[in-house]
Chains A and B, each alone.
Chain A
Amino acid sequence: MDELARILGSIVSNATPLVIASIGETITERVGVVNLSLDGSIALAAMVGFVTAYLSGNALLGLLAGTVIGMLIALLIVVANIELKQDQVAVGFVLTLLAADLAQFLGQDYTRIPGPTFPTVPIPVLADVPFLGQIFFRHNLLVYFSFVLLFGTWFVMYRTRYGLALRAVGERPATAFARGTNVNRTRYFYTAVGGAMVGLAGASYALAIKPGWANPPVMRGDGWIALAIVIFGGWHPFRVAFGAYLFAGLRALASTIQQQTDLPLVLVNAVPWVLMILTLLLVSGGFVERLIRVAPGPVQRVLRNFLRSEPPAALGAEFSRE
């Protein structure tokens, strides 16, 4: 039982950057902007976060620096799209490559050295709850932050008038305009917030989950995984977080199996990418519909609501008034 709690606890901890990044991207995409640069943004934020923390000796300052980096990259995409009418995907793709190379180049003198990290802070009382305490309440601050972010995002999105505006802008900007929402300002704001979360996720690798900076970066590829998780999660914070934990769990499972048998390591490395294809196949169109049709009538609607993954209708589209 304790062993299980320990494993689950480490999955929760390891999944944290993925949860934060994919919820950040969910926020961004919900206002109709695709930030494709995640894989690069996360690396650059991790590098800048680590170096800042290392030079200042302050992990919090590093976290802040990483967050700002993520926000700036996201803002670059949305400015290029709104003000200069350039394709979000094109700019995002260039930034993916550029940010990754920048991280490698600027961080070349800071690889494989120890620096400040976020310590584990058990939450009084809660940490002593049997089983659950070990899983959820004996972590560093970033893990707790991811919980707050998850519930906070859900609450704002579905319970407040800001959430109504947020979702409306990504779904049907013309309606949002008619209801008095400033479409482009809303896009700027939430893209910046989402990008900041992506940056924070990047810094949280370097300062807590996999401390330090390395070349190639340890989290390479996770940005793409986070983007896929947003789709798998149907742009809903809880489903997205579920996807991130599920993914981290399966990754942990695969590496445990590999250690206890003599399966080649390459199989474990292949797991994330096979999972990515399979989950996207699952939620995209045809397959799900065929599966659902087999089910009895009343179950169909429930299944469809649960499995189908509809992107915000105005994702990637520009808005102009007339």
Chain B
Amino acid sequence: MSDGRLASRRFLGVALTLGSIAASLLLTALIIIAVGASPLEVFDKIWQGIGMKPDGIDPGRFAGVVNFWIPLALASFGLVISFTAGLWNIGVEGQMMFGAIFASWVAREIFLPSVLLVPLELIAAAIGGALWGALAGVLKTRGGVHEIFGGVALNNLASIYAIYLIAGPWQPPEGGSLQSTAPFQEAALLQPVSSGFRVSLLALVLVAVAFVVVAVALRGTRWGLELKALGKSPRSALLLGVATDRNAVLAIAACGAFAGLGGAFRVLFTYGSMRPLVSGGIGFLGLLVVLLTGTRTIWVPFVSFFFAAILAGSTRLKIALQLDQSLAGVVQGILVLMVILANGVRGRMQGQVITRLPEQTPTGAQPQSEEAASG
């Protein structure tokens, strides 16, 4: 390809990206006007919500962004793995929930010094998320239930189970709230850096480690290469000697482990207790992140940080402007949609197809199992 064409491609790419962001802002503004509010005021409140003040940054509010970013980034790293394997792990939300449940169980039932208890909670959370993920994987490989449907059902079951625990077995004998368990013991919680900047250093380290682990696993290991082959063509991967069923289950389970850690962070730091909606849509948001980044791990921290900022900024809309905070989801959804459409426009203008998403269709009768591959 000549330099000139390369440059014009770059230009087209940048122009379309900027265009899709502008279109998203415009659409969002129209929607805000539709409910009778002022877009400028809303954007201003979101900007303040993430801690941006004329005279500097408010560390307390900025910490809010970081605290959304941590579980979101963890879940997104996990989803990079399952996307690489060609799996639509919608069950990530439930996997976060089960991570939170397992961590809560340890936090409630086991009494140890913090240095031992916290790692134990994190391990339990990873196991919980991985098990719930593996269940979706087994339903797919053994039962032919597409992971989208298995995932949606398991998400709801996880949420129902959490509500049951909070309202039932985990109620204090004297009775308590249906919205939350009693606060966990102090030793069970992750500790903030300072009371002014409430961010857990341990959690930040966890995110960094997760990033390295996922990036290295996908680029440098045989397992990563096997997942890549599986994601692009399950049948061919099988014939090249890849254990397709086992790897599909492992990929979802690995995603579940990371999501479970995210769930643990929510109960051990954000709330300090178990809540019914503990994952709060962060898992789904992770799916949007990965729709934008594809399997390029390097982009995940940035995109997820941006989404976390929107999420954190919107939490104040209710108080400040009496606007529902679902606006965050609207902004994020429109943005991802516009970027996907812009991708398509670019492909059309360049006469090529850009696909980096799993290419299967969610139908129940589409087993990927080794046995059925003989068809």
* Chain A residues at the B interface, C-beta cutoff of 8 Å: 34, 36, 80, 83-91, 93-95, 97-98, 100-102, 104-106, 108-109, 215, 221, 224, 227-228, 231-232, 264, 266, 269-270, 272-274, 276-277, 280-281, 283-287, 308-311, 315-316
**10 smallest A-B Cβ distances: which pairs?**
A84-B344, A98-B333, A316-B361, A284-B144, A101-B329, A285-B144, A231-B364, A311-B363, A104-B326, A273-B153
CB contacts (< 8 Å) of A106 on chain B: these are 31, 34-35
Q: Which residues of B contact A105 (CB under 8 A)?
A: 31, 35, 323-324, 326-327, 329-330
Beyond A94-B333, A221-B156, whether A83 also contacts B348 by CB under 8 A is yes
By beta carbon, the residue of chain A nearest B146 is: A280
A284 lies within 8 A of B168 (CB)? no
Known A106-B35, A266-B160, A280-B149; contact A97-B329, beta-carbon cutoff 8 A: yes
Q: Which residues in window 149-191 of B have CB below 8 A to A? A: 149-150, 152-154, 156-157, 160-161, 163-164, 167-168
- Give every chain A residue within 8 A of B337 (Cβ-Cβ): 91, 94-95, 98
Does B364 lie within 8 Å of A277, measured CB to CB? no
Task: Report how far A274 CA is from B88 CA in the complex, Å.
Answer: 20
* A269 vs chain B, min Cβ distance (A): 5
| Residues of chain B contacted by A316 (CB below 8 angstroms) | 359-361
List of B residues within 8 angstroms of A91 by Cβ = 337, 340
User: In the complex, what residues of A have CB within 8 A of residue B320's CB?
Assistant: none
In the complex, 28 of the A-B residue pairs with CB atoms within 8 angstroms, ordered by the A residue number, are: A36-B362, A85-B354, A86-B341, A87-B355, A87-B358, A91-B337, A93-B90, A94-B291, A97-B284, A105-B324, A221-B156, A231-B365, A264-B164, A266-B160, A266-B161, A266-B168, A269-B160, A274-B153, A277-B153, A281-B144, A283-B365, A284-B364, A285-B365, A286-B367, A286-B371, A311-B363, A315-B361, A315-B363
B288 at the interface (CB under 8 A from A): yes
A contact residues around B146 at 8 Å (CB): 280
The reply to whether B152 and A93 contact each other, CB–CB distance below 8 Å, is no
**CA separation between A307 and B144, bound complex, in Å?**
14
**B355 to A, closest residue via Cβ:** A87
Taken together as a complex, chains A and B put the C-alpha atoms of A209 and B40 apart, in Å, by: 39
Cross-chain contact B142 with A94 (CB below 8 angstroms): no
Interface size range on B against A: 35 or more
Which of A34, A109, A228, A273 touches B361 (beta carbons < 8 Å)?
A34
Give the chain B neighbours of A85 by CB distance below 8 A.
344, 347-348, 353-355
Is there contact, CB below 8 Å, between B324 and A108?
Answer: yes
Complex-state Cα separation, A316 to B344, whole angstroms: 16
Q: Which residues of B contact A277 (CB under 8 A)?
A: 139, 145, 149-150, 153-154
Residues of chain A within 8 A (CB-CB) of B367 are: 284-286
In the assembled complex, the CB of A197 is this many whole angstroms from the nearest CB of chain B, namely 19
> B343 in the interface, Cβ–Cβ < 8 Å?
yes
Cβ of B206 under 8 Å from chain A: no
Q: Does the CB pair A94–B35 fall under 8 Å?
A: no
By a CB distance below 8 angstroms, the chain A residues around B334 are 98
Indicate if B251 sits at the interface (CB-CB under 8 A).
no
Q: Please give the distance in Å from A320's CB to the nearest CB on chain B.
A: 10
Q: CB within 8 A of B291: which of A90, A273, A283?
A: A90
Could you tell me if B361 and A89 are in contact, using CB atoms closer than 8 angstroms?
yes
For residue B179, give the distance in angstroms from its CB to the closest CB of chain A. 15
**Which of A83, A94, A274 gathers the greatest number of chain B CB atoms within 10 Å?**
A94
CA distance A74 to B234 in the complex (A): 29
Q: Is the CB of B363 within 8 A of A102?
A: no
Residue in B142, B152, B348 with the greatest tally of chain A CB atoms within 10 Å: B152
Query: Chain B CB within 10 Å — which of A264, A273, A274 has the most?
Result: A273
Tell me, in angstroms, the Cα distance from A253 to B142 when the chains sit together: 30
Please, how many angstroms separate the alpha-carbon atoms of A281 and B149 in the complex? 11
Q: Tell me the minimal C-beta distance from B333 to chain A in angstroms.
A: 3
Instruction: Give chain A nearest CB distance to B164 CB in angstroms.
Output: 4
B117 at the interface (CB under 8 A from A): no
| Min distance, Cβ B42 to any Cβ of chain A, angstroms | 11
B344 near A83: Cβ-Cβ < 8 Å: yes
Please, which residues of chain B bring their CB within 8 A of the CB of A269?
156, 160
Please, what's the 1-or-0 string for B306-332, where 1 marks a CB less than 8 Å from any CB in chain A? 000000000000000001101111100
With CB as the reference atom, state the residue of chain A lying closest to B153. Answer: A273
CA distance A105 to B34 in the complex (A): 10
Q: Which of A94, A221, A276, A308 contacts B340 (CB under 8 A)? A: A94
Give min CB distance, A257 to chain B, whole Å: 17
Q: A105-B326, A311-B365 are in contact. List 4 more A-B contacts (CB 8 A).
A: A98-B333, A106-B34, A231-B365, A273-B157
Question: Are B143 and A287 closer than 8 Å at their CB atoms?
Answer: yes
Cα(A81)–Cα(B121), bound, Å = 44
- The reply to whether the CB of B372 lies closer than 8 angstroms to some CB of chain A is yes
Query: Across the interface, which residues of A come within 8 angstroms of B355, CB to CB?
Result: 85, 87
Which B residues are in CB contact (< 8 Å) with A87? 355, 357-359
Q: Are A88 and B139 in contact (CB under 8 A)?
A: no
Residue of A nearest to B291 (CB): A90
B324/A104 in contact, CB under 8 A:
yes
Residues in A neighbouring B341, C-beta threshold 8 A: 80, 84, 86
The reply on B366 being an interface residue by CB < 8 A is: yes
Partner of B364, one of A80, A264, A283: A283
For the complex formed, measure the closest distance between the CB of B85 and the CB atoms of chain A, giving whole angstroms: 15
Chain B residues, Cβ within 8 Å of A284? 143-145, 364-367
Distance of A169 Cα from B34 Cα, bound (Å)? 40
A102 with B361: CB separation less than 8 A: no
Contact flag A286-B160 (CB < 8 Å), given A86-B344, A94-B288, A94-B340: no
Contact residues in A for B284 (Cβ distance below 8 Å): 97
Q: B residues within 8 A CB of A94?
A: 288, 291, 333, 336-337, 340
